[in-house]
Amino acid sequence: SYTIDNQDQVAPMITQVQDSQILSTIQTLSDFQNRYYTSTYGVAASDKIMAMWKALAGTRSDITVEQFTHAGWPQKSVILTIKGTAKPKEIVVMGAHLDSIVSGKVTNETRAPGADDDASGIATLTEVLRVMVANNYKPRRTIQFMGYAAEEEGLLGSAEIAKAYKRQLKKVVGVLQLDMTNYQGSAKDIYIYTDYTNGAQNTFLANLASTYLPTLTVGYDKCGYGCSDHASWYGKGYAASLPFEAAFTDDNPYIHSANDTLANMGNQASDAAKFAKLTLAFGVELGTDGP
Ligand SMILES: N[C@H](Cc1ccc(I)cc1)C(=O)NO
Ligand SMILES: [Zn+2]
Ligand SMILES: [Zn+2]
Protein backbone atom coordinates (compact mmCIF):
# COMPACT_ATOMS: atom_id res chain seq x y z
CA SER A 1 0.00 0.00 0.00
CA TYR A 2 1.06 3.57 -0.46
CA THR A 3 1.74 4.82 3.08
CA ILE A 4 1.64 8.56 3.82
CA ASP A 5 3.86 8.86 6.90
CA ASN A 6 6.56 11.42 6.19
CA GLN A 7 4.73 14.60 7.18
CA ASP A 8 7.76 15.76 9.19
CA GLN A 9 9.81 15.91 5.99
CA VAL A 10 7.16 16.78 3.39
CA ALA A 11 5.28 19.60 5.12
CA PRO A 12 8.24 21.98 5.60
CA MET A 13 9.52 21.36 2.05
CA ILE A 14 6.13 22.17 0.54
CA THR A 15 6.22 25.61 2.17
CA GLN A 16 9.52 26.32 0.39
CA VAL A 17 8.18 25.99 -3.16
CA GLN A 18 8.63 29.37 -4.89
CA ASP A 19 6.49 30.45 -7.86
CA SER A 20 9.26 32.86 -8.89
CA GLN A 21 11.74 30.04 -9.38
CA ILE A 22 9.32 28.14 -11.63
CA LEU A 23 8.51 31.33 -13.56
CA SER A 24 12.20 31.98 -14.19
CA THR A 25 12.81 28.48 -15.54
CA ILE A 26 9.76 28.63 -17.84
CA GLN A 27 11.11 31.97 -19.14
CA THR A 28 14.58 30.52 -19.77
CA LEU A 29 13.24 27.50 -21.64
CA SER A 30 10.63 29.38 -23.69
CA ASP A 31 13.33 31.88 -24.74
CA PHE A 32 14.88 29.17 -26.94
CA GLN A 33 13.63 29.78 -30.50
CA ASN A 34 12.23 26.27 -30.24
CA ARG A 35 13.10 23.01 -28.49
CA TYR A 36 12.28 20.86 -31.50
CA TYR A 37 13.79 17.39 -31.36
CA THR A 38 15.90 17.81 -34.51
CA SER A 39 16.79 21.52 -34.28
CA THR A 40 20.06 23.02 -33.05
CA TYR A 41 17.99 24.85 -30.40
CA GLY A 42 16.41 21.59 -29.30
CA VAL A 43 19.86 20.13 -28.75
CA ALA A 44 20.96 23.26 -26.87
CA ALA A 45 17.88 23.18 -24.64
CA SER A 46 18.72 19.64 -23.53
CA ASP A 47 22.27 20.75 -22.68
CA LYS A 48 20.86 23.75 -20.77
CA ILE A 49 18.62 21.55 -18.62
CA MET A 50 21.54 19.25 -17.85
CA ALA A 51 23.61 22.28 -16.82
CA MET A 52 20.80 23.65 -14.64
CA TRP A 53 20.27 20.31 -12.89
CA LYS A 54 24.01 19.81 -12.43
CA ALA A 55 24.24 23.25 -10.81
CA LEU A 56 21.37 22.40 -8.45
CA ALA A 57 23.02 19.07 -7.53
CA GLY A 58 26.05 20.98 -6.28
CA THR A 59 28.56 18.74 -4.51
CA ARG A 60 26.14 15.96 -3.55
CA SER A 61 28.06 12.73 -4.23
CA ASP A 62 24.78 10.75 -4.36
CA ILE A 63 23.49 12.83 -7.28
CA THR A 64 24.57 12.29 -10.90
CA VAL A 65 23.29 13.86 -14.12
CA GLU A 66 23.60 12.30 -17.58
CA GLN A 67 22.15 12.55 -21.04
CA PHE A 68 20.47 9.59 -22.72
CA THR A 69 21.52 9.49 -26.38
CA HIS A 70 18.84 8.58 -28.91
CA ALA A 71 20.23 7.05 -32.11
CA GLY A 72 17.41 8.32 -34.31
CA TRP A 73 17.64 12.08 -33.65
CA PRO A 74 20.05 14.64 -32.12
CA GLN A 75 18.13 15.87 -29.04
CA LYS A 76 19.10 13.92 -25.91
CA SER A 77 16.98 13.15 -22.88
CA VAL A 78 18.31 14.26 -19.47
CA ILE A 79 18.34 11.99 -16.40
CA LEU A 80 19.28 13.14 -12.88
CA THR A 81 19.69 10.35 -10.32
CA ILE A 82 19.57 10.68 -6.52
CA LYS A 83 20.88 7.32 -5.34
CA GLY A 84 18.77 5.71 -2.59
CA THR A 85 20.37 5.20 0.84
CA ALA A 86 18.61 1.91 1.65
CA LYS A 87 16.91 0.46 -1.45
CA PRO A 88 18.89 1.95 -4.36
CA LYS A 89 17.63 -0.62 -6.87
CA GLU A 90 14.06 0.57 -6.37
CA ILE A 91 13.45 3.61 -8.56
CA VAL A 92 10.90 6.44 -8.42
CA VAL A 93 10.70 8.31 -11.76
CA MET A 94 9.39 11.88 -12.10
CA GLY A 95 9.38 13.19 -15.65
CA ALA A 96 8.40 15.89 -18.15
CA HIS A 97 9.31 16.44 -21.79
CA LEU A 98 11.90 18.99 -22.86
CA ASP A 99 10.97 19.27 -26.52
CA SER A 100 8.46 21.66 -28.12
CA ILE A 101 6.57 21.80 -31.42
CA VAL A 102 4.09 23.80 -33.49
CA SER A 103 1.46 22.20 -35.70
CA GLY A 104 2.33 22.11 -39.39
CA LYS A 105 5.77 22.47 -40.91
CA VAL A 106 8.69 22.93 -38.48
CA THR A 107 12.10 24.20 -39.57
CA ASN A 108 15.21 24.85 -37.48
CA GLU A 109 14.14 28.50 -37.08
CA THR A 110 10.44 27.94 -36.34
CA ARG A 111 9.26 29.78 -33.21
CA ALA A 112 7.93 27.21 -30.71
CA PRO A 113 8.16 28.55 -27.12
CA GLY A 114 6.30 25.65 -25.52
CA ALA A 115 5.90 27.57 -22.24
CA ASP A 116 3.08 25.37 -20.99
CA ASP A 117 3.82 22.39 -23.21
CA ASP A 118 6.08 21.47 -21.57
CA ALA A 119 8.50 24.02 -20.13
CA SER A 120 6.03 24.19 -17.25
CA GLY A 121 6.65 20.51 -16.48
CA ILE A 122 10.43 20.80 -16.61
CA ALA A 123 10.29 23.96 -14.48
CA THR A 124 8.04 22.21 -11.96
CA LEU A 125 10.51 19.31 -11.67
CA THR A 126 13.44 21.73 -11.38
CA GLU A 127 11.80 23.47 -8.41
CA VAL A 128 11.15 20.10 -6.73
CA LEU A 129 14.85 19.28 -7.16
CA ARG A 130 15.91 22.67 -5.77
CA VAL A 131 13.80 22.23 -2.62
CA MET A 132 14.94 18.62 -2.07
CA VAL A 133 18.61 19.63 -2.30
CA ALA A 134 18.08 22.75 -0.17
CA ASN A 135 16.77 20.45 2.59
CA ASN A 136 19.54 17.90 2.06
CA TYR A 137 16.79 15.33 1.48
CA LYS A 138 18.19 11.84 1.00
CA PRO A 139 15.65 9.25 -0.27
CA ARG A 140 15.80 5.58 0.82
CA ARG A 141 14.89 4.61 -2.75
CA THR A 142 16.51 6.03 -5.85
CA ILE A 143 14.71 9.02 -7.38
CA GLN A 144 15.23 9.86 -11.06
CA PHE A 145 14.23 13.18 -12.62
CA MET A 146 13.75 12.78 -16.38
CA GLY A 147 13.53 15.36 -19.17
CA TYR A 148 12.35 13.43 -22.20
CA ALA A 149 13.34 14.28 -25.76
CA ALA A 150 10.94 14.00 -28.70
CA GLU A 151 7.67 13.53 -26.84
CA GLU A 152 5.80 15.50 -29.50
CA GLU A 153 6.89 13.13 -32.24
CA GLY A 154 5.08 10.31 -30.50
CA LEU A 155 6.58 9.80 -27.04
CA LEU A 156 9.80 8.70 -28.76
CA GLY A 157 12.33 9.54 -26.03
CA SER A 158 10.37 8.05 -23.15
CA ALA A 159 9.55 4.97 -25.26
CA GLU A 160 13.24 4.23 -25.71
CA ILE A 161 14.01 4.80 -22.03
CA ALA A 162 11.09 2.71 -20.77
CA LYS A 163 12.05 -0.07 -23.20
CA ALA A 164 15.65 -0.05 -21.97
CA TYR A 165 14.51 -0.08 -18.30
CA LYS A 166 12.22 -3.04 -18.94
CA ARG A 167 14.91 -4.93 -20.81
CA GLN A 168 17.34 -4.30 -17.95
CA LEU A 169 14.64 -5.46 -15.49
CA LYS A 170 14.96 -2.18 -13.57
CA LYS A 171 12.57 -1.99 -10.61
CA VAL A 172 10.63 1.21 -11.19
CA VAL A 173 8.08 1.45 -8.36
CA GLY A 174 6.24 4.44 -9.80
CA VAL A 175 6.30 7.09 -12.55
CA LEU A 176 4.83 10.58 -12.40
CA GLN A 177 4.44 12.56 -15.64
CA LEU A 178 4.14 16.37 -15.69
CA ASP A 179 2.95 17.73 -19.05
CA MET A 180 1.26 21.14 -18.90
CA THR A 181 1.00 22.31 -15.29
CA ASN A 182 0.57 26.07 -15.56
CA TYR A 183 -2.74 26.85 -17.30
CA GLN A 184 -5.83 26.41 -15.17
CA GLY A 185 -8.30 25.62 -17.91
CA SER A 186 -10.98 24.10 -15.71
CA ALA A 187 -12.66 24.71 -12.37
CA LYS A 188 -10.55 22.23 -10.42
CA ASP A 189 -6.85 22.62 -9.65
CA ILE A 190 -5.53 19.19 -10.62
CA TYR A 191 -7.00 16.54 -12.92
CA ILE A 192 -5.83 12.96 -12.44
CA TYR A 193 -6.04 11.02 -15.71
CA THR A 194 -7.40 7.51 -15.43
CA ASP A 195 -6.44 5.94 -18.77
CA TYR A 196 -2.92 4.65 -19.50
CA THR A 197 -2.24 5.09 -15.77
CA ASN A 198 -2.24 2.99 -12.59
CA GLY A 199 -5.40 3.13 -10.44
CA ALA A 200 -3.71 2.46 -7.09
CA GLN A 201 -1.08 5.10 -7.73
CA ASN A 202 -3.77 7.55 -8.84
CA THR A 203 -5.54 6.98 -5.51
CA PHE A 204 -2.22 7.58 -3.73
CA LEU A 205 -1.91 10.91 -5.62
CA ALA A 206 -5.42 11.92 -4.58
CA ASN A 207 -4.62 11.02 -0.97
CA LEU A 208 -1.39 13.04 -1.12
CA ALA A 209 -3.40 16.02 -2.37
CA SER A 210 -5.98 15.76 0.41
CA THR A 211 -3.28 15.23 3.06
CA TYR A 212 -0.82 17.94 2.05
CA LEU A 213 -2.84 20.29 -0.19
CA PRO A 214 -6.31 20.25 1.39
CA THR A 215 -7.39 23.52 -0.22
CA LEU A 216 -6.84 22.15 -3.75
CA THR A 217 -9.65 20.51 -5.69
CA VAL A 218 -9.02 17.33 -7.66
CA GLY A 219 -10.90 16.09 -10.72
CA TYR A 220 -10.59 13.10 -13.04
CA ASP A 221 -10.63 12.66 -16.78
CA LYS A 222 -9.36 10.56 -19.70
CA CYS A 223 -7.29 11.40 -22.75
CA GLY A 224 -8.55 8.50 -24.87
CA TYR A 225 -5.03 7.91 -26.22
CA GLY A 226 -1.43 7.92 -25.05
CA CYS A 227 -1.37 11.69 -24.56
CA SER A 228 2.03 12.01 -22.88
CA ASP A 229 5.11 10.09 -21.70
CA HIS A 230 3.33 8.26 -18.89
CA ALA A 231 1.88 6.05 -21.66
CA SER A 232 5.40 4.81 -22.55
CA TRP A 233 5.90 3.52 -19.01
CA TYR A 234 2.35 2.17 -18.79
CA GLY A 235 2.98 0.26 -21.99
CA LYS A 236 5.93 -1.50 -20.37
CA GLY A 237 3.87 -2.50 -17.34
CA TYR A 238 5.06 0.18 -14.90
CA ALA A 239 2.74 2.16 -12.61
CA ALA A 240 2.34 5.63 -14.09
CA SER A 241 0.22 8.70 -13.33
CA LEU A 242 -0.57 11.99 -15.06
CA PRO A 243 -1.74 14.93 -12.94
CA PHE A 244 -2.81 17.51 -15.51
CA GLU A 245 -3.82 21.19 -15.58
CA ALA A 246 -7.36 20.78 -16.93
CA ALA A 247 -10.17 18.54 -18.05
CA PHE A 248 -9.52 17.12 -21.54
CA THR A 249 -11.66 19.62 -23.42
CA ASP A 250 -10.30 22.60 -21.47
CA ASP A 251 -6.58 22.23 -22.03
CA ASN A 252 -4.48 25.23 -22.99
CA PRO A 253 -5.69 26.36 -26.48
CA TYR A 254 -2.33 27.96 -27.29
CA ILE A 255 -0.24 24.80 -27.24
CA HIS A 256 1.60 23.74 -30.42
CA SER A 257 1.72 27.36 -31.59
CA ALA A 258 3.96 30.41 -31.26
CA ASN A 259 1.41 31.66 -28.73
CA ASP A 260 2.20 29.04 -26.08
CA THR A 261 3.88 31.72 -23.97
CA LEU A 262 4.13 32.78 -20.35
CA ALA A 263 2.14 35.90 -21.25
CA ASN A 264 -0.75 33.68 -22.30
CA MET A 265 -0.60 32.03 -18.89
CA GLY A 266 -0.87 35.35 -17.08
CA ASN A 267 2.88 35.70 -16.48
CA GLN A 268 2.47 33.64 -13.32
CA ALA A 269 3.48 30.19 -12.10
CA SER A 270 1.10 29.75 -9.16
CA ASP A 271 -0.66 26.96 -11.02
CA ALA A 272 2.59 25.08 -11.63
CA ALA A 273 3.50 25.59 -7.96
CA LYS A 274 0.54 23.38 -6.99
CA PHE A 275 2.01 20.59 -9.10
CA ALA A 276 5.47 21.15 -7.61
CA LYS A 277 4.01 20.63 -4.12
CA LEU A 278 2.17 17.47 -5.17
CA THR A 279 5.29 16.16 -6.92
CA LEU A 280 7.41 16.87 -3.82
CA ALA A 281 4.95 14.89 -1.69
CA PHE A 282 4.95 12.04 -4.26
CA GLY A 283 8.75 11.91 -4.45
CA VAL A 284 9.35 12.01 -0.69
CA GLU A 285 6.56 9.61 0.36
CA LEU A 286 7.35 7.06 -2.38
CA GLY A 287 11.07 7.71 -2.21
CA THR A 288 11.16 7.14 1.53
CA ASP A 289 9.12 3.97 1.66
CA GLY A 290 5.82 3.30 -0.10
CA PRO A 291 4.29 -0.04 -1.28
N1 LIG B 1 -1.33 15.74 -26.77
C2 LIG B 1 -0.63 16.35 -25.70
C3 LIG B 1 -1.33 17.53 -25.10
C4 LIG B 1 -2.38 17.13 -24.27
C5 LIG B 1 -2.12 16.27 -23.22
C6 LIG B 1 -3.17 15.93 -22.38
C7 LIG B 1 -4.41 16.46 -22.63
I8 LIG B 1 -5.91 16.00 -21.43
C9 LIG B 1 -4.65 17.30 -23.70
C10 LIG B 1 -3.62 17.65 -24.53
C11 LIG B 1 0.67 16.94 -26.13
O12 LIG B 1 0.76 17.66 -27.08
N13 LIG B 1 1.66 16.60 -25.32
O14 LIG B 1 2.87 17.16 -25.60
ZN1 LIG C 1 2.39 18.88 -26.97
ZN1 LIG D 1 3.36 17.96 -23.78
Segment 198-217, tens digit of pLDDT: 999 999 999 999 999 999 99
Question: Within 6 Å (CB) of ligand 1, which residues are found?
Answer: 117-118, 151-152, 179, 223, 227-228, 244, 248, 251, 255
pLDDT above 90 for 281: yes
- Position 289 scores a pLDDT of 80
Residue 288 has pLDDT above 50, yes or no: yes
Percent of the chain scoring above 90 in pLDDT: 99
Classify residue 115 as exposed, middle or buried by CB count within 10 Å of its CB (0-12, 13-18, 19+).
buried
**Residues of 223-233 as b/e, b for ≥16 C-beta within 10 angstroms?**
beebbbbbbbb
- Nearest-CA residue for ligand 1 atom 3 is 227
Q: What is the pLDDT of residue 244?
A: 98
pLDDT digits (tens, 9 = 90+) for 56-114: 999 999 999 999 999 999 999 999 999 999 999 999 999 999 999 999 999 999 999 99
Average per-residue pLDDT for the chain: 97
Q: C-alpha distances in angstroms, 88 versus 6, 116, 142, 154, 280?
A: 19, 33, 5, 31, 19
Answer yes or no: pTM beyond 0.90: yes
175 to 38, 94, 196: CA distances (angstroms): 26, 6, 12
Over residues 286-291, mean pLDDT: 78
**Considering every ligand atom, which ligand is closest to the CA of 180?**
3
Active site residues: 97, 117, 151-152, 179, 256
Which atom of ligand 1 is found nearest the CA of 221? 8
Return the half-sphere exposure (C-beta side, CA atoms, 13 A cut-off) of residue 141. Answer: 21
Q: Ligand 2 centroid to 141 CA: how many Å?
A: 31
Distance in Å, CA 122 to ligand 2 centroid: 13
Closest ligand 1 atom, CA of 255? 12
Q: What pLDDT, on the 0 to 100 scale, is given for residue 232?
A: 98
Name the residue at shortest CA distance from atom 8 of ligand 1. 248
**What is the distance in A from the centroid of ligand 1 to the CA of 62?**
34
Rg (CA), the chain: 17
| Per-residue confidence (pLDDT) for residue 291, from 0 to 100 | 46
Strands 77-82 and 171-177: unpaired
Section 42-63 average pLDDT: 98
CA of 168 to the centre of ligand 3 (A): 27
Amino acid at 38: T
At residue 237 the predicted structure's pLDDT band, cuts being 50, 70 and 90, is: very high
Mean pLDDT (whole number) for 23-27: 98
